[in-house]
């Protein structure tokens, strides 16, 4: 007798910069979510799909839960909190190298209110001494009765297989929601825009990248090449100058680095043209937030 097929939805939640997007990409086996060393990189829900012969898990990478400073920030926190209620499993990712933050205690309380089974994921254990791991596990165990606590390194993939087994054990019998060869529901346009934004997060300093949105104006598919025309929107005139750089050098660098990743995603040559425009204080405009695709 064969096993019944299982399926479900899992929300990856946690504070900014704990490695949620890295974990999502590791599970998917390719870049879906952008990664940077700056907090609040992910702005919206991103779906990754993991399918085996026995089960399918649909993962949602949510924005990091933080104290919002503008309407975009409020939207990000709302998305993250609402994701928990809609899921079959909550994956609470924490940075094992840092002490428990007050916000993490609040997240654990919110998980308790949902009644959804939760797995605590201790990420970055490759940077923690083995003898220090048990006290960390004990501290987090006091916050909530987790279904399991799994130490992993999202960067190296260590412990991810154990995590997948634990997730499977919490899934119920259910249908296959997506074809087995699908790894995300994100349109190529959206991933391309996010890749451009990722390069800006790495290359630009401080606040500039957080006030930036990318719009893909046109994507022309040809047999040999895909032509992409994108506009970078900045909140301030001073930021536009920084993005373009002296003699256009910074914009050129952003374009070169983004093109490499987009070519890898599309598996073909890419021509990428970038323009820079100003949209003052767009992060506090409901209309602009919706225009840029950040809509619940």
Classify strands 148-151 and 55-61 as parallel, antiparallel or unpaired: unpaired
Q: What is the pLDDT of residue 295?
A: 52
Cβ atoms 123, 153 nearer than 8 A: yes
pTM above 0.75, yes or no: no
pLDDT tens, N- to C-terminus, the chain (296 residues): 457 899 998 988 888 888 888 898 898 887 766 555 544 444 456 678 899 999 999 988 765 444 444 454 454 455 455 656 668 998 999 999 999 998 888 888 888 887 889 999 999 999 999 899 999 999 999 999 999 999 999 999 999 999 999 999 999 999 999 888 888 777 778 888 888 988 888 888 665 656 788 888 888 988 889 999 999 988 888 888 888 999 999 999 999 999 998 888 788 899 999 999 888 766 666 655 555 555 54
Cα atoms in the 13 Å half-sphere on the side-chain side of 260 = 7
Q: Which residue has the tokens 């536009």?
A: 240
Contacts of 106 (CB under 8 A, 6+ apart): none
Cα distance between residue 188 and residue 246, in whole Å? 31
Identify the structural domains of the chain with CATH numbers, from first to last.
6-173 (3.40.50.300), 188-291 (3.30.300.20)
In the block, tokens 């390069």 appear at 199
Q: What is the rounded distance in angstroms from the CA atom of residue 59 to the CA atom of residue 45?
A: 9
User: What's residue 206's pLDDT?
Assistant: 61
Token couple for 169: 């054990």
pLDDT at residue number 283: 66
* Residue labelled with tokens 């100003």: 278
Question: Rounded to whole angstroms, how far apart are CA atoms 192 and 158?
Answer: 28
What local confidence, expressed as pLDDT, does residue 40 receive?
46
Coil/strand/helix, residue 200: helix
Residue with tokens 């479900």: 8
Query: How far apart, in whole angstroms, are the C-alpha atoms of residue 85 and residue 104?
Result: 17
Task: Mark out the alpha helices in 42-187 (DSSP H runs).
Answer: 71-85, 102-114, 130-141, 160-170
Cα–Cα distance measured from residue 21 to residue 39, given in angstroms and rounded to the nearest whole number:
12
145: helix, strand or coil: coil
Q: Measured between alpha carbons, how far is 99 from 137 in angstroms, rounded to an integer?
A: 11
């Amino acid at each position: 007798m064969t096993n019944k097929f299982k399926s479900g939805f899992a929300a990856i939640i946690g504070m900014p910069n704990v490695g949620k997007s890295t974990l999502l990409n590791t599970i998917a086996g390719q870049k879906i979510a952008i990664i940077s060393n700056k907090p609040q990189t992910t702005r919206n829900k991103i779906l990754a799909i993991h399918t085996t012969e026995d089960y399918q898990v649909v993962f949602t990478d949510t924005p990091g839960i933080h104290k919002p400073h503008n309407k975009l920030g409020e939207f990000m926190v709302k998305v993250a909190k609402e994701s928990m209620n809609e899921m079959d499993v909550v994956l609470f990712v924490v940075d094992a190298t840092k002490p428990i933050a007050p916000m993490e205690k609040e997240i654990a309380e919110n998980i308790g209110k949902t009644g959804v089974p939760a797995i605590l994921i201790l990420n970055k254990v490759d940077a923690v001494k083995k003898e220090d791991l048990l006290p960390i596990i004990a501290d987090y165990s006091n916050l909530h009765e987790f279904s399991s606590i799994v130490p992993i390194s999202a960067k190296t993939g260590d412990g991810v297989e154990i995590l997948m087994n634990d997730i499977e054990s919490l899934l119920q019998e259910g249908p296959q929601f997506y074809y087995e060869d699908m790894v995300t529901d994100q349109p190529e346009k959206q991933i391309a825009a996010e890749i451009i934004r990722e390069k800006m997060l790495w290359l630009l300093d401080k606040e500039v990248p957080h006030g930036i949105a990318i719009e893909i104006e046109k994507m022309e598919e040809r047999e040999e090449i895909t032509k992409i025309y994108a506009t970078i929107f900045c909140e301030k005139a001073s930021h536009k100058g920084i993005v373009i750089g002296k003699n256009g050098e910074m914009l050129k660098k952003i374009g070169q680095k983004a093109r490499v990743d987009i070519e890898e995603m599309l598996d073909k040559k890419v021509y990428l043209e970038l323009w820079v425009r100003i949209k003052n204080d767009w992060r506090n405009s409901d209309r602009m937030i919706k225009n840029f695709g950040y809509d619940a």
